[in-house]
Structure 1
Amino acid sequence: MSAMNAQMDLSDMIGAELPFLRRYARALTGSQRTGDNYAAATLEAILQDPSIFMRSMGPKTALFRAFHKIWATAGAPTADTEDTATRMESRALDHMAGLTNNTREALLLSTIEGFGFEDVGRIMDIDSGEAEELVSIAIAEMEKSMTGKVMIIEDEAIIAMDIHSIVSEMGHNVTGIARTRSAAADLGARDRPDLILADIQLADNSSGIDAVNDILGQFGNIPVIFITAFPERLLTGDKPEPAFLIPKPYSEEQVRSAVSQAMFFASTDTLKTA
């Protein structure tokens, strides 16, 4: 294979996984800007030294492993250390200081990105048993770190009730369930949420993105988790995107992890309609 063909092949493999790397980097750092900067730095490093992209692994595992090499070398930064404009609230920083090292990374890799413990270990350069233990520790620590009021915007009754059950079992108070944009605005006005879980497509063909932005227009920055069957369509890099995004069909572990992460950071970049 010629050098040009090899580079094209590498670009194709990376391109298919890049939206998911951006999602992970944003959730890990708590900022779209900071996360995207480190995703871009990873791509630059691979182009300069293709050997850090280990082709013997699957493309996604190899890309995430390369990211971790860059991110760890930079000192595992967060938005607070990189960009004052996206500084996390002080309570999030206080919680972060008490977390066991490497637990959030393992949790996100396992529950949000869907890696098995063996691949989590490969990415983080630890064994699979340690990866599993880190995930267990993370779940316990993150769920204890913060509770609050959660608003659900979802038009499918079964899904809405399932999310309600998961969130309630975590110790959060659900302010209500809205099926349309207008209902979401009314619910938000009556009871300001600490976190919003929102579907993208609602019952009256209105947009969950617009519903969220209506609420943010009233209250300012509130953590948001978007739920969609097509996450890759929202992670194009062309416009502001959500830091926290879970796919349909989702698992209970994905919801719990995303809720804990979003509440932990207490603020997040959200989608804006262009």
Structure 2
Amino acid sequence: MNAVSQAELLRSLPPARRYARALSGSQAAGDALVAAALREGLPDLPAKLALYAGVTRIAPPPAPGPGANLTARQRQLLLLTALEELVIADAATVVGVPRDVAETELDAAREALRSAAATEILVIEDEPIIAMDVRQLVEACGHRVVGVAATEAQAVALAKAKRPGLILADVNLGAGGDGITAVNRIQREVEVPVIFVTAYPERLLTAEQVEPAFVISKPFEPLALAIATYQAVSSTVPIG
């Protein structure tokens, strides 16, 4: 059992929950993974790495199906390095492989992303330059952008009309409203996975409300967006 303090574990819970939900595909499934990891006991590592490792150890493998062209280890390494921003040595420790093996797996995973399942995406972003950058990035990943909404009202109308397979949403839409509210309104009528791309991730990691499965912090790396879109499109929810 890891002897880290309760305070250290509490500080490390938000990133561990974010990783678990990105790995499993939903808030409920991710939180169930974190809870199970805590019950089973954590490895003897620093608190943050211990939680990541505990979740990784008990996470079920991805179900076969469309887009499932990455192994479980490859998904884990991509999420840990691209979304959680761990250095490769720490990511290798978390998944329990030597660093050179992790580097080889990551190279293979990045190549596999190029042939990942594509979908139609709605972008909710009020800044035109950022919206253009996001559009270019997701199209480079093989997806098709079916609309760009700058306001809450536009987002709801486009989602109803286009029925996208994925939504990429900013949180703060300025005078145009709130991205979280827009997504909540959309999901009352359209069942669709959502990735929030935001400079304010703490607004979505409070454990006080329904939270998204995928959160990317601005500024983001293209690879982080690529793996998040892959996970959102291909993830299943095996527990929860």
Cα 1:161–1:266, aligned 2, differ >3 Å: closer, same or farther?
Answer: farther
Q: Secondary structure at the match of 1:102?
A: helix
- Kindly indicate whether residue 6 of structure 2 is the aligned counterpart of residue 18 of structure 1: no
- Kindly indicate whether residue 185 of structure 2 is the aligned counterpart of residue 218 of structure 1: no
1:66 counterpart residue number: 54
Q: Secondary structure at the match of 1:257?
A: helix
Q: Which string of whole-angstrom CA distances, capped at 9 and with x for unpartnered residues, describes residues 59-108 of structure 1?
A: 32232123333x16xxx256xxxxxxxxxxxxx74136653341111111
2:99 counterpart residue number: 128
| 1:223–1:266 contact (8 Å) kept in structure 2 | no
Q: Distance in 1 between matches of 2:188 and 2:66?
A: 28
2:167 counterpart residue number: 196
Higher relative contact order (CA 8 A, sep 6+): 2
Q: Secondary structure at the match of 2:5?
A: helix
Please give the residue correspondences for 1:99-178 in structure 2 after superposition, counting only pairs within 5 Å.
Answer: 99-178=70-149
User: Which is greater in Rg?
Assistant: 1
Of 238, 247, 250, the match for 2:208? 238
- Kindly indicate whether residue 238 of structure 2 is the aligned counterpart of residue 263 of structure 1: no
- Kindly indicate whether residue 219 of structure 2 is the aligned counterpart of residue 249 of structure 1: yes
Q: CA RMSD in A?
A: 2.3
User: Runs ≥4 in structure 1, deviation > 4 angstroms?
Assistant: none
Q: Distance in 2 between matches of 1:135 and 1:43?
A: 27
Q: Distance in 1 between matches of 2:180 and 2:114?
A: 26
Q: Secondary structure at the match of 1:258?
A: helix
Q: Distance in 2 between matches of 1:67 and 1:263?
A: 21
Q: Normalized against structure 2, the TM-score is what?
A: 0.88
Q: Distance in 2 between matches of 1:118 and 1:200?
A: 33
Q: Normalized against structure 1, the TM-score is what?
A: 0.78
| 1:23–1:243 contact (8 Å) kept in structure 2 | yes
Q: Distance in 1 between matches of 2:91 and 2:105?
A: 10
- Kindly indicate whether residue 11 of structure 2 is the aligned counterpart of residue 40 of structure 1: no
Aligned residues: 236
- Kindly indicate whether residue 23 of structure 2 is the aligned counterpart of residue 53 of structure 1: no
Q: Secondary structure at the match of 1:144?
A: coil
Q: Which string of whole-angstrom CA distances, capped at 9 and with x for unpartnered residues, describes residues 163-203 of structure 1?
A: 11100111111112111101112222332211100011113
1:81 counterpart residue number: none
| 1:222–1:266 contact (8 Å) kept in structure 2 | no
What letter corresponds to residue 133 of structure 1 in structure 2? T
Q: Which string of whole-angstrom CA distances, capped at 9 and with x for unpartnered residues, describes residues 35-54 of structure 1?
A: 111201222334xxx7x232
